[in-house]
Structure 1
């Protein structure tokens, strides 16, 4: 379960993009479910607060606030945790390539912009007409917590 809260002091908020190709023999919906589950597992493992998350066929986009021990996050550790979590999913074979970007969000005023960007990604990439149409997203929870600009 993803919890949408406000950032806390002594922490770092990041915009996360995980790019991973779907194995050819695997159905796209199973792959997206595996990416979604990996995002949930890794955020729980590291004690991150998830403000927004969306799983697309080739990537996961999220906005997390990491606790104080991750003020200088180890990208290799996060990437390895994502790969391990995806491998642990049923019917997922070898992953061709995985690339993780964690970009710190410098100003708290920019968090809502990144949350908005995350939720509207399915529309921007042509996978859905509205964010409501996309099932693997925290858009409904964000709307109820008023964390949406558009």
Structure 2
């Protein structure tokens, strides 16, 4: 069960984060005091039993998650009713073209802003070349590879 589902249904969580956003979600739920988090690398059976015992017997966890659940479930209409209303809305307005993303009608090069990307690439290249030339000039000047011009006198 995910973090959002657990909060929605009012269930305290025993989190054992493994990867991706699980660590952040587990830390957030621990801060909210609706979960206990155990480290995947060091978890033991005794730790799991102890954590479950705390979650089941400490009413503060279940009370906090119940309050969170009440907030999440307090809606003026059910999600199914909302989905039905939006489907009917789209039917009433002939596909609701005013809600469609205008970018879907753009050419691919316009969509990815190819002109802007090309301009930035050219500017980056020019700055790179200019910096390289200036750096090489000063390196050669400092280490004596640039020889002064000799003038011939008759």
TM-score using structure 2 length: 0.19
Q: Which structure features the higher share of helix residues?
A: 2
TM-score by length of 1: 0.19
Q: Higher strand proportion, which one?
A: 1
Higher relative contact order (CA 8 A, sep 6+): 1
